[in-house]
Structures are given as C-alpha cells and as structure tokens.
Chain A
Amino acid sequence: MSLTEIPAFARADGPDKVSGLGRYTADLTLTGMAHAAFRYADVPHGRIVELDTSPARAMSGVVAVITDADVPDIYLSAEIADRTLFARDVVRYEGEVVAAVAAVTPEIARAAAAAIVVRYEVLPAVTDIEAALGENSPLVHESWDSYATSGDVVRDRNTAMRSELHRGDADAAMATADVVVSGRYVADASHAVPIEPRAVVAEWQGDHLTVHTSTQVPFDARSRICETLELPTSRVRVIVPHLGGGFGGKCGAHFEPHIAALAKVAKRPVKLVFSRYEEFIAPDRRREGMIVDVATGVKHDGTIVARAAWLGIDNGAYMADATFFPQLAAMHVAGPYRTGSLKIEADLVYTNRQPSGSVRAPTAPQACWAIESHTDEIAVALDMDPIEFRRRNLVATGDVGPMGQVYDEIGALECLELATASAQASADQKPLGPDEALGVSMGWWPTFAVAAGAFAKMHADGTVQLVTGGQECGTGAVMTLRNLAADELGIDPELIELVYQDTAVAPEGPGASGSQTLLNHGRAVEVASQQIAAQLRELAADHLEAAPEDIVLAESKASVAGAPAASVAFTELVERAGAELLGTASVEMPEYPELPTSSTCIGDQGMGAWLAPQFSCHVARVAVDRDTGVVRVSEVHTAHDSGTIINLMGAHGQVEGGVLMGVGQALTEGTRYDDEGRQRNAGLLEYKLQTIADAPSIHTQFVEIATPNAGPRGAKGLAEAPNVATAGAIANALAKVIGQRVRELPMTAERVWRAQTADQSSTTTEQDQS
C-alpha cells in the first residue's frame, strides 16, 4: 500500500500523520518569523508596583515587547468580564501573562522576557475552596461586583457563580427515609495534557490577520481576537493545521490575540510554541478541583427518596468557560437515577489558581466518582448488591429527569447489564484473586445541540468538497462527516474531500468541543448533501423521464427505482447543469420545552442538553497491593449508549482513550499546589499519565438506540462520555478490596495506604419510620 492507497475506513489525515509529513502548528515557519515568549506573573497574587520592559527592549534581537498598555482597553467576558489580555494592576495566578516579547530566536525571546523587571506587593493568596467562602477571606477580585455580567449571575465575593437545583421538598422527603447515607468526596484539579503543547503563528498582511493555531474551536479563537484587538470578523482568518489533541484543553481562544498583537508591533510573523511547563501553568483550561458533600435518603427496599448536596468547585482566578460547571456538576450529583426530591447547591469559587475550563466532560469524572462511590456506599448500608441497587433506580425511557425532561428511548439499563455481564464473564474465566475485585459505575453526559452550517459542492468530475466548521482534534469525527455525505449522495466517501479548520471558508460552528462534531456539524452536512442529492434527482428525473422521488442515487449514478440498467452518471448530470452543484446548510438549535423546575439559568444546560443524554456503564477489574496501596487496573468493561454508531473504529478509539484518561484521573493524575497556589508538578514526570505498560484491556459494547432527539441517524456524541465513569468504577472495586473508601481523587497509592490505616467510612444514620 502506498501513501495514496489507504482503505476507506482509515482516517483521511492518516498518511500525513504516519509519514511525518503532516504539519502541526509548531512545524510552521514563515519568512522573517520571530519567536514569542511570555513573562508570567510567577506570584499567584500580587499588586504590580513596577513593570519595566526597557531591559528587554534594549536586548539585541528583540523586535517587540508588549504589555497591557499596548492593547485595547477591553475586559474579557465569559458571562463575567473579569480580566484583561495582559495583567492589569493585579496578578491573580502564577501563569498570568504580564508581558510578551518577540525576538529573532526563541532563546533571545526567553532571555528578554526574563529580563523584564516586575515587582509586586504580594497579596494573600486564596487557595482553599471552603476558606474562600468565609466572611474574612481575602478577595481574589477586590471589585468583583463592578464586573459586567451577561444574564443573571448569582455571585458574591469569592463566589463567582452559584447554581441550585431543586426538585420537591428535599428536607421533608429526607425525613421520610429509612436510612440516610452521607459522605464527603474531594477531587484534586487535573489537566487535559494533549501531547502537543499549544502553538500559535500570527501573520499580518496589511490590515488582514491570519492566525495558525492549535485551537479546538477556531471560531472562538477568531471572535476572541476580534473582541480584544477590535478587529472586524471579516479581516481575521484562523487556520488550524493538524491538531495534536485537545481534550478540551485547547477549546476556545488562548494566546492568539497576544501573538497577533506582538506580530503587529514586530511587523513580522510571530510564532509561539509552549513548553510542557507552560502548557501546565498558563492556559485557562484546567480540570477543576471539587468538593462534594452529599446525603441521600433511601427506603429499605432501595427507593431513593431525597438527595441533598453542596458542591464547591474551584474556578481559579478568572472566568474562562466554567459558567455552566455548577449546573453540570449538580446534574451529575443528581445522577442518572430516580433520586426523588433534590436540593443541590453548587458554588463556583474564585481562587488564586489557574482558571478552570472545559476539559473532557468538565466536572463529570469528579462528580461521577463522588456520586458513584456514594451509590455503592448506599448499597452497602442497605445490604444490597450495588448492581441491583442501580438496576432498581436507573432512569429508563419515560422517566422524568432532574430538570423535568422526559426521556425518550434511552439505554442506561442496557449499559449496566451489558458491561456487568461482560466483566462477570471474564471473572468467571479467570477468577478474581484475593486482592482483586470488580467495581461498577454508571455515567452520563448531555448532548449539546447548537447551530452549525456546512457547504457542499459537487464538481463536474463527480468529486465533492465538503466545507465544514468542524474541527479534527484526533477524534475522527470530522472524518465521519464524509460517510454521512457519501450516504446521502450515493458516492464512495473517497470522492469526498473535506475542507475544514479554516474560518475564512467554513460556516461557523462549535468546532471540536462538547462532543458536538457529529451531532451538529453532522446535521448540517446531512442537509447540505441532501440539497445536492435533490438537485441530482431533479436533473436525473429530467433525463430519465421519471419523477424525482423515484430516482435512486448509488455508485455515483442515478437510476429509476426498479430499473437500475438505465442510469446516468453524476458527472454527466453536473455537466448538464452547466455549473457545479451547491449545497448550503445552516441548521438551528432545536426548540426545547420550557424547564418546569427551578434552576439558575446562567450557563444553562438544562432541558435540551439532557433530553437525549449519553449513558455509560464501566466495570473495572482492579488489583491492590495492600502493603503499599498501589492499585492496578487490569480490565475495564464498558457499555455505551451514544445512539447510533456511525464509525465503529473511531467509536472504540474514543472509548479506549477516555477510559485510560479515567484510569489516570483515578490513580495518578492530580495537580499539587504549594500553599500559595503554585503548581508543584507541572511536568510529565511528576504529573503521571498512564503508560502503555499500565493500560488495561478494554472491552466495549455499544447500545445502539436511535434516540429521537439526537443527531444524524440518531447518533449522539462520544468524545467525552467515555471519560466519565471509569474513576468511579475503580473506586468501587478498590473499596471492595480494602474495605475502606478512599475519599480523595486521585486515589494515589499513599492515599490508599492511609485509607487502610484509618476509618474513613461514610455516616449512615438509621431513621425510625415506624
């Protein structure tokens, strides 16, 4: 096989990637290009008393130095406009950008950035979520109430945003419970860690700006550039070369405006390439630390009557895109169960740490770990098998969700049955050892339908260009779009060329975020392809003297149903049309019913997103070295309801990657801070991803239910869902082996060892209902 003969099921960008010839952003070089380096705050909280860039400017080879004084006076907004592009007056986390330098070599740029003189009056750092909520806590933002907000943000001092989810009278319902189980779970922050550190290359031609960047959402990058540098959308073009993974960490805009501004001053292209250290400390995307305090009231028969919870979510220093986190986390704490009355309060809390932002299934792995641990604890308190307890309480078709949504066809229960059966079958074959156990966890994730567009062109040679705002970050979802179009058009997917990752040519869309590529860009691609198909039918109907609705499109030919012999090639039809055939689609966000229950509305992911959620069940087989607390995961059995699976190989790849990320979160991936909020393990030796030597075998089954409210052919998303349930499954297996709960995530060896030496069980209160 050669570079040009790759089978249809393989990725279109595959040959580029395996040959090493494909370019990622850091691989680009433009004539005259200078290199950027940032000067970071270094102190997590401080007032700038002196900022002198002259030593950097004086260095030979330095072509530009900029600070807050050199860019438009704009406060950035994501519901709360709480920051500027470059630090202004006060720095609030160690990785905040104070100044940027461009120089002829990366080394000179770094030396110049280091030569900038910045002195601070150090302010007390806010690093503890609960302490931050105290009356006397220092404030991360002195003048928090002066920031503009969009919509109804409930906020107070260090509480950046509060969200509540209520259903019924939880207090009254709790009093009717036979048993109340309560527990506390604390998750450390963690990171997305795409293997490609981010990079940006910005180039001006006159007053037109082109930015090559490693973003997952090029349109967000474009709008941030336009917003902060006061540029018209039409003059800014964002192009994404191959993207080396994102996992949410590269969602939105990051340093594109900084580099564009530098390039403007430098009067030459400027390139930024992050080190791994910078990748850890600077971006406003970190998986948020979280405290979950939860109490659940149950009847002896396993019926859940009420759940009350408080969630403290570490927002870090600024509002990145965490506005919907409180509600999302609250939904996960409610869980995919019939949980009776609910009272869930969630505070998103400012601290002097790196801002939190969307990382693969934001809030879900932590909240799910907490609530699935809690679920097993309830089962234990009731002396009931955890699988049976879940079976009795899982939501099913026709049930009403926490926010009033009525579920259509869903496969939560099927996920539970399939995954547990698979794990059990394996354990029957290879019996569990004395230090081994199986643990079960459910997971779920919303399906975000938003507006998107697509263009399609069929050329005279019968090939098709599909132009999408979709973005390929490795998931293969964009590749899958070809299959959708091929199906609509009756052509080989190989005849379809995708044009993507370029804001100048594609219609706007959500990019590779929120598991939305197939769901939203897919809907648009379907419509655009259908438009071309309709034109082909019209043209063929004319030619074959039949009604358009009787025309069948297959193998790049049109024929009349039942008479395949008389056919006409698409090439001929396009030629007859006299011009290429065009399809232009713009799909709206579907309309959803109103929310019947109360929930604060900012960052609302309520009704629509949870109408056709994705469900999953993970079962982990875990071995524990009791003497050291080291945990190893040998197998993970999963079942996923993500609706119809369109690209099976891609789907397996998503689950396998998500599971392994989950194993890391469960056991070794946690960000450690010093007392002032500096990261102590901002490198890959001390922030430990799982290696191939650690990877469990992963056994996946799909529950394919074509959900009515979902995307093309009943497909939902699948990029984030696999990252939700694994840590919970490992936690439950681990608790079975050691007979104790590890209440902190990651469940590091040392924490496991400690849990064995101290009783950390949850509180179970029997209530007399006689």
Chain B
Amino acid sequence: MTLTIATSVDQAIALLASGARPIAGGTDLVVGARQGKAPLPDQLVAIDRIAELAELTSTDSETRIGAGVTHARLMTDGLIIERHTAIADAAALVGSPATRNVGTLGGNVMNGSPAMDTGAPLIVMGAEAELRSADGTRRVTMGDLWTGPGQISARDDELCTSLVIPAGGPGSGSAYVRLEYRRAMEIAVVGAAAAVTLSDGVLTSIRVALTAVAPVIIEIGDLDNLIGGAPDRALHGAVAAAARDQATPISDLRATDEYRRHTIGVMAARAVDAAARRAAGEQIPVPVNRSLGIGAAQ
C-alpha cells in the first residue's frame, strides 16, 4: 500500500489514472476500513493539500466550492451562510468538531451515502459537481451523480474538483434539518432540505429533498402546484404529505420504515418552514436543528 501526498490537481489526476483512489479527510474512508466495511485501497493519493481544491469563490450568479473545503469552513463562511444557508446547516451537523475539521464537501458527495447531510441541500440549490480527469472536465447534476447507496456515476479516474451552485435570487431562503436522537455525533435518521423563494409573501419557487429515505438522496417531485400559495400550515402539510408519499424508506437499526415515513414528513415540513422564514428575512442561526431545538422543544 502507498500514499502519495499530491499538491496539484494535475498530479492527483495523473495518480488517479494509474489506479490510485483519493483520500481527503479520510473520515469516511479510514473509518470505514477500521470498522471492516471496506479495506483501504492499495494506492492512495491525499488531496487535502491541494490549494485549488480548498478554494471557495463566488460571482453574482454562482458559488464555487472546492471539493476540499471542510465542513468547519462551510458552517462559518459568511457567503455560504448568506446564500446557501442549508449547506451551512448541514455542515454544522456533521460529526464532531474534529470530523468537521478534516471532513470535506467533496468527500461527503463522492462517498454517496444516502444518509449524507450536504446532499439534500445541494440538490435543492441545483448544484452540480465538476469532475476532472485526464480526458477533461465535465459537470453532472447531483441527481445524475448518485446512483445507489455508496454508488456514484463518476469514473474512478475522475476527481471532483468543486461543487458549483447557482446563487439564489432575492427573497430566497433555505434550510436543512435532520432527525437526531442525540444532539451531536449522529447520522441522519432522516433529513430534509428546502429552498424557497418568496415574493410579497407568496411562494414563487420551492424545492425539497430528502435524506435517508431512499437508496439515494431524492428530490420531492410535483411541488409546483404549491407555487403561488402562502408559506402557511397548509403548505407544510402538503409538503409533509408529498414527502411521506414519495419516500421509500427501509427499516434498519436506527428506525423502522414506518417511523421514517412519519418523521420524514415532519422534517420536510420543518425545513420548508425554516426556509420560508429565512426567505422572509428572519435570522435563524445555523444550524436550524440547534437553534430551533429540532428533536425536542427547547
């Protein structure tokens, strides 16, 4: 087994082409190996010292988050909190401060777990992953990237360099909430992200995506009929019903399918509520889970 510490994207890509696997924070890869889930790959290329991957830049129309940006940075970065609040909500819930220090957005995305927290926020914001290989660069939507639990459509020789996210317009707000049994060190039992836009108190766009209720993170379809309505209880109810309807949860150690189906409705409604309140200008600090006492009244 070997590990090479890469300092440039080109070097990393060359190593990937010769069969190496990338390691960023290692919080999925090494922990998984330690638990015996999957052995470590024979050749590793460490990508955490590649400056380019740690860049976080923005224009008026989009935000580009380097794949190597850590959760710790995402949850405190002013631009992310302002524009892509749901991502900050999600990043702030990942593991512990130590996990967030080294764990990266790229690692979260490329690990492809249906319980990953940044996935639903990325979907509702219409993010795309930029993949680079010796053959060139391409972009894929999150929906196209994730193909099954722990499975992604990216090729082994492709490095995810960044996540590109359209900037939300005025009146937009987003939030991510998850069900957790304790206030830290949890994996989402279920979770939901919402991004909405309000104009004069009326909904002009809404997207909702769900965590841990299907083989991949899924977006709730057919919400367009809700546009034009107010962000009220009826809306929450409609979103909850749609979430329960479209979820295909399984039973496992953490929850039964029945309980997941029920709570995904609760989470979806809460995400929409928080997103709409943010869209209306209310300051709900990141992460929503802790500031609203999600999981239990304060």
> B263 — which chain A residues lie within 8 A by C-beta?
627-628, 753
Q: Is the CB of A686 within 8 A of B181?
A: no
Q: Is the CB of B295 within 8 A of A628?
A: yes
Chain B minimum-CB-distance residue to A275: B34
| Residue A100 at the chain B interface, CB threshold 8 Å | no
> Once the chains bind, are B35 and A750 in contact (CB under 8 Å)?
no
Contact of A750 with B185 in the complex, beta carbons under 8 Å: no
Interface residues contributed by chain A, number (CB under 8 Å): 31
Q: Are B253 and A435 in touch, CB under 8 angstroms?
A: no
- Closest chain-B Cβ to A89's Cβ sits at a distance in Å of 29
Asked if B183 and A625 make an inter-chain contact with CB atoms under 8 angstroms apart, the answer reads no
Interface centre among A434, A693, A749 (most CB of B within 10 A): A749
- Which of B179, B293, B295 has the most chain A CB atoms closer than 10 A to its own CB? B295
Query: Which of chain B's residues have a CB closer than 8 A to the CB of A627?
Result: 263, 266
Q: Report which of A436, A748, A753 forms a contact with B297, defined as CB distance below 8 A.
A: A436
> Shortest CB–CB separation between residue A519 and chain B, in angstroms?
35
A632 contacts the other chain (CB 8 A): yes
Please give, as numbers and ranges, the residues of chain A lying within 8 Å of B181 by CB-CB distance: 630, 667-668, 688, 748-749
Tell me the complex Cα distance, A682–B201, Å. 50
Would A680 and B253 count as touching, CB distance under 8 A? yes
For residue A685, CB closer than 8 A to chain B, the reply is yes
Q: Does B187 contact A (CB under 8 A)?
A: yes
Name the CB-closest residue of A to B267. Answer: A628
B256 within 8 Å of A (CB atoms) = yes
Given contacts A685-B185, A691-B185, contact A628 B253 (CB under 8 A): no
Q: Chain B 254-265, CB within 8 Å of chain A: the 1/0 string? A: 111001001100
Q: Any chain A CB within 8 A of the CB of B233?
A: no
* Contact A693-B296, Cβ < 8 Å, known A681-B253, A686-B254, A750-B256: no
Given contacts A680-B253, A683-B35, A691-B183, are A753 and B295 in contact (CB under 8 A)? no
Any B CB within 8 A of the CB of A729: no
Q: Does B184 touch A at the CB level, under 8 Å?
A: yes
Considering only residues 35-50 of chain B, those with a C-beta below 8 Å from chain A are: 35
Quick check: is A623 within 8 A (CB to CB) of the other chain? yes
> Are B254 and A625 in contact, CB atoms less than 8 angstroms apart?
no
Tell whether A171 is near chain B: CB-to-CB under 8 Å.
no
Q: Which residues of B contact A692 (CB under 8 A)?
A: 184
Tell me if B259 and A750 are in contact (CB < 8 A): yes
CB pair A690–B253 under 8 Å, yes or no, is no
User: Is A391 positioned at the interface, with any CB of B under 8 Å from its CB?
Assistant: no
Contact A624 B183, beta carbon cutoff 8 Å: no
B155 within 8 A of A: no
Contact (Cβ within 8 A) B187 A685? yes
Residue of A nearest to B183 (CB): A693
A675 to chain B: closest CB distance in Å? 14
Complex Cα spacing A405 to B259, Å:
49
Select one of B255, B259, B296 contacting A625, CB under 8 A: B296
Mark interface residues in B274-296 (1 if CB within 8 Å of A CB, else 0): 00000000000000000001111
Task: Write the A256-284 contact mask toward B (1 if CB under 8 angstroms, else 0).
Answer: 00000000000000000000000000000
Is A27 positioned at the interface, with any CB of B under 8 Å from its CB? Answer: no
Contact flags (1/0) for B163-182 with A, using CB distance below 8 Å? 00000000000000001111
CA distance A694 to B186 in the complex (A): 12
Contact partners of A628 in chain B: CB under 8 A: 179, 263, 266, 295
Min CB distance, B258 to chain A, in Å?
A: 9
B93-111 interface bits toward A, Cβ cutoff 8 Å, 1 = contact, 0 = none: 0000000000000000000
Measured in the bound complex, the distance between the Cα atoms of B296 and A667 in whole Å is: 13
- Shortest Cβ distance from residue B279 to the other chain A in the assembled complex, whole angstroms: 23
- Distance A692 CA – B183 CA, assembled complex (angstroms): 9
Q: How far is the CA of A433 from the CA of B297 in the complex (A)?
A: 9
A748 → chain B closest CB, angstroms: 7
Question: Does A753 contact B262, Cβ atoms closer than 8 Å?
Answer: yes
Known: A693-B183, A753-B263. 4 other contacts (CB 8 A): A435-B297, A623-B297, A624-B296, A748-B181
4 A-B pairs closest in CB distance: A632-B296, A693-B183, A435-B297, A630-B295
Show the binding face of A for B, using Cβ within 8 Å.
433-436, 623-625, 627-628, 630-632, 667-668, 672, 680-681, 683, 685-686, 688, 690-694, 748-750, 753-754
| A-B pairs with beta carbons under 8 Å apart, 6 shown | A433-B298, A625-B297, A685-B185, A691-B185, A748-B181, A753-B263
